[in-house]
Amino acid sequence: MIRVITTVGTSLFSNYLDANKDIEIHYKNIKEKPFKEYHNLQARIKQVKARVTPWAANNIEASAEIKSLWKIYEFLKQPLDVYLIATDTVVSALAAEIIKARFDGEPDFTVHFKDADIITGLQVKDYQLFVREGLPNLVYRIGEITANHYGEAIFNIAGGYKGVIPYMTVMALVNNWSIYYIFEESQTVIEIPRAPIKIDYDVFEKYSREVNMLEEGIEKYNHIRSKSFLEFTKLEKMGLVEAIDDIAFLSPLGVIFHEKYRQRFFDFYCNDEVWEEIQNQKDIQRIITEKFANKAARENKTETKGMHMVFDDGDNQNRIYYFKHGGSIYIYKTFQNEEAARKFIDSTLNKEEVMKKAKKRKWGLKDV
């Protein structure tokens, strides 16, 4: 089944309002609201949903998203596994809910939409928030949607915030995916053909420390830059740095390229003793590859125990003791024995000593 990632805008409501004015006041009061206010606007949302949902149910032209999905289905002649992506706004999330309901029961469409598909920071009012949080969160969510999917994935950009189209295009090129949209007011599906581009992965390996710092965000950037002038200058010339005032972070293109690098490699630091332990711990190797290397999965399973951060894999014997410094991961102890791991909680941690002995390790995520 083809996986279709579809960005969601507000054409559903503008099209409805062209012929119907009964939601005008309610829509006006929710139109500019961020998604965090969604639950405080339930009365107005229910009024809008009650009128727009039945109207959209029998109208293929109801929105750019509905129209384009039907046209893509007719063009490809295959069932579609659709993931709707909403901006960090009430109206985009509401539109996605109605569009999902529109396709419920359609035999050749499986449509997904949940809270994780509302991209925090993806909005138009605050450019710094858009670049620093919105676009990275979009890249990470798309990475989650396409992870372990071995079929074809495509982008449908007929709807949604047009500011993301250049970055969606780059993501498609990097991943060798196709892009589809509907041309203007026509009935024609346009396919942007695949033209894969090559990433210089050596940059992310050579400058991993600086890239990790940028991913976290660097305050007083000019001061930090002066200490690693050649490294940051190189990254700037490659378009991987976004600087606003004296704060710098990984640019949107940098996020896209770095995420692609992290699909293949995971960089961390540890001393020789820990490295040798890992070579003999098959379960730990599997966990690093399948879970620990993924930022969201790692943070979800990390607990604070004593003075330690511990990746607790749940109902089994496996534990990884680590900490973060300057955006980099330092692993200083691994266990395949829960009792031994529990005893280690009472030990002290000297981060400076760990960092002094640690060496950078490049972990191939397809090796285990």
Q: Mean pLDDT, to the nearest integer, of 163-190?
A: 84
Percent of the chain residues topping a pLDDT of 70: 98
**pLDDT tens digits along 242-272:** 998 899 999 988 999 998 898 889 999 999 9
Rounded to an integer, what distance in angstroms lies between the CA atom of residue 198 and that of residue 149?
Answer: 21
Q: How far is CA 122 from CA 29, 119, 141, 256, in A?
A: 20, 6, 12, 15
- Whether the pLDDT of residue 195 is over 80: the answer is no
Confidence of residue 188 (pLDDT cuts 50, 70, 90): confident
**Residue entry with tokens 């659709």:** 82
**pLDDT tens digits along 94-141:** 999 999 999 999 999 999 999 999 999 999 899 889 988 999 899 989
* Low-confidence winner among 155-169, 216-230, 337-351 (lowest mean pLDDT): 155-169
Confidence of residue 23 (pLDDT cuts 50, 70, 90): very high
Rounded to an integer, what distance in angstroms lies between the CA atom of residue 333 and that of residue 335?
Answer: 7
The predicted structure's pLDDT at residue 368: 39
The predicted structure's pLDDT at residue 127: 86
* Chain centroid offset of residue 147 CA: 11
Claim: this prediction has a pTM higher than 0.85: no
The predicted structure's pLDDT at residue 184: 59
**pLDDT tens digits along 286-327:** 999 999 998 888 999 999 999 999 999 988 999 999 999 988
| Under 8 Å between Cβ of 8 and 89 | no
- In 246-352 the beta strands, taken as DSSP E runs, fall at 247-250, 265-270, 302-305, 308-312, 319-325, 328-335
Rounded to an integer, what distance in angstroms lies between the CA atom of residue 83 and that of residue 100?
Answer: 9
Q: Mean pLDDT, to the nearest integer, of 83-99?
A: 98
Number of helices (H), then strands (E), belonging to the chain: the values are 18, 15
**pLDDT tens digits along 273-290:** 999 999 999 999 999 999
